[in-house]
């Protein structure tokens, strides 16, 4: 796979203008797909173009997208975090436990964020402190974190969250704009700025492209990666708050399989799984597409597992087709 990457990195005779670059970019392709999905959906079902229905549809992706933003940075830096869904489960379990001890909403939120952050720190320490490959470490911690919530909950569930807590998952800021949707927009902006407009973001790209070169140019590779894993844990904690508040209960199987959907979202958004390239606008568009497709299928009564086939095909197609296209053009 490195050979293909190497061949693609030639130096062009002259740079294309910004307009040409935008038209040829992955993001504009995603934009076309998003518009297409939106149009097809609104023709396929008469219920699609209702503001409240559309607002409901956003719950399909907002929580996953929060994690996907942080995951995008992790993947750009050349690592991966497969434990995110397990962190959601453990943070939710921690909040449920705190609730049973009689704590109220502010403490629950702090516990959720704290648990997520702590899990991220564990991942970060294992990957950067001990220098272990992140894919195996996070497969291990995925099993550990979810295992802990199974250990605490067994076959039971925490229910009866306070009324004020449920606002994080069910509340609306204004008209059809839910708290989750606003949070999603704010985080998209925040992560866009972090990745594209700060030194930290440049460092993330540099590490993903060439870790050794990044190290020699004075970037503290270990520290940057540690922060990335911490941020991912924190985002998983945040998503856990929203999800728990929305469902109103905690089971150890909460958010099962989300790590795959989050990675799919990131990769669909044009982030190279090998690290070094990708953008937040791409991830935002990918989140919208996945949410709209899921919602559209839902309106057409397509079962969830059939949607997952579609997501799987989508994942392989979006990565495979550009490679095929490049091959055909090279001939």
φ and ψ at 178, to 5 degrees?
-75, 165
Burial class for 140, CB neighbours closer than 10 Å (0-12, 13-18, 19+): middle
Residues 13-72 that bind another protein (CB under 8 A): none
Task: Establish if 136 lies at the interface with another protein (CB under 8 A).
Answer: yes
Listed ranges 137-145, 175-183, 197-205, 232-240: which one lies at the site for another protein (CB under 8 A): 137-145
143/140 Cα distance (integer angstroms): 5
Q: Is 62 exposed, middle or buried (0-12, 13-18, 19+ CB in 10 A)?
A: buried
State the minimum distance, in angstroms, from the CB of residue 258 to another protein: 12
Q: Are 207 and 218 in contact (CB under 8 A)?
A: no
Would you say 13 or 155 has its CB closer to another protein?
Answer: 155
H/E run at residue 174: strand 172-174
Closest CA to 22 of 34, 31, 13, 35: 31
Least Cβ distance, residue 323 to another protein (angstroms): 5
Report the residue from 107, 220, 277, 297 that binds another protein according to the rule CB under 8 A.
220
Please list, in sequence order, all residues whose beta carbon lies within 8 angstroms of the beta carbon of residue 44, skipping any fewer than 6 positions away.
296, 299, 300
Binding mask 234-273 for another protein (x = CB under 8 A): ------------------x-------x--xx--x-----x
Minimum CB distance to another protein, residue 252 (Å): 8
Side-chain half-sphere of 181: how many Cα atoms within 13 Å? 19
DSSP 250: E
For another protein, which residue of 145, 158, 165, 184 counts as binding (CB under 8 A)? 145
User: Closest separation between CB of residue 30 and another protein, Å?
Assistant: 17
330 interacts with another protein by CB under 8 A: no
User: Counting contacts by CB under 8 A, is residue 142 touching another protein?
Assistant: yes
Q: Which stretch binds another protein (CB under 8 A): 190-198, 219-227, 229-237, 241-249?
A: 219-227
Measured distance between the N- and C-terminal CA atoms of the chain, rounded to whole angstroms = 19
Binding residues (CB under 8 A) for another protein: these are 1, 4, 80, 126-128, 130-133, 135-137, 139-148, 150-151, 153-155, 211-212, 215, 220-222, 225, 252, 260, 263-264, 267, 273-274, 303, 305-306, 308-309, 311-313, 315-316, 319-320, 323-324
């Amino acid at each position: 796979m490195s050979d293909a990457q190497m061949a693609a990195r030639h130096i062009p005779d002259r740079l294309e203008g910004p307009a040409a670059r935008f038209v040829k970019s992955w993001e504009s392709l995603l934009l076309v797909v998003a518009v297409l999905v939106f149009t097809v959906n609104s023709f396929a079902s008469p219920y699609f173009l209702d503001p409240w229905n559309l607002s409901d549809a956003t719950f399909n992706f907002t929580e996953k997208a929060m994690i996907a933003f942080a995951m995008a940075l992790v993947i750009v830096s050349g690592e991966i975090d497969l434990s995110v869904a397990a962190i959601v489960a453990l943070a939710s379990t921690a909040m449920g436990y705190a609730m049973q001890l009689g704590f109220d909403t502010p403490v629950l939120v702090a516990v959720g964020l704290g648990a997520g952050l702590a899990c991220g720190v564990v991942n970060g320490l294992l990957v950067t402190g001990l220098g272990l490959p992140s894919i195996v470490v996070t497969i291990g911690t995925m099993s550990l974190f979810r295992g802990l919530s199974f250990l605490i909950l067994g076959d039971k569930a925490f229910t009866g969250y306070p009324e004020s807590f449920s606002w994080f998952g069910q509340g609306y800021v204004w008209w059809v704009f839910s708290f989750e949707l606003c949070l999603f927009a704010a985080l998209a902006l925040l992560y866009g700025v972090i990745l594209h407009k700060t030194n930290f973001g440049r460092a993330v790209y540099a590490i993903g492209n060439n870790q050794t070169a990044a190290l020699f140019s004075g970037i503290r590779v270990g520290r940057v990666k540690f922060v990335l894993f911490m941020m991912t844990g924190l985002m998983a904690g945040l998503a856990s708050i929203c999800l728990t508040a929305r469902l109103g209960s905690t089971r150890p199987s909460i958010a099962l399989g989300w790590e795959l959907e989050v990675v799919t979202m990131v990769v669909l958004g044009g982030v190279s799984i090998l690290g070094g390239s990708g953008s937040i606008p791409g991830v935002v568009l990918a989140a919208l597409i996945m949410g709209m497709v899921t919602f559209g299928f839902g309106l057409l009564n397509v079962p969830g597992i059939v949607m997952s086939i579609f997501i799987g095909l989508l994942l392989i197609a979006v990565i495979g087709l550009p490679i095929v296209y490049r091959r055909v053009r090279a001939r």
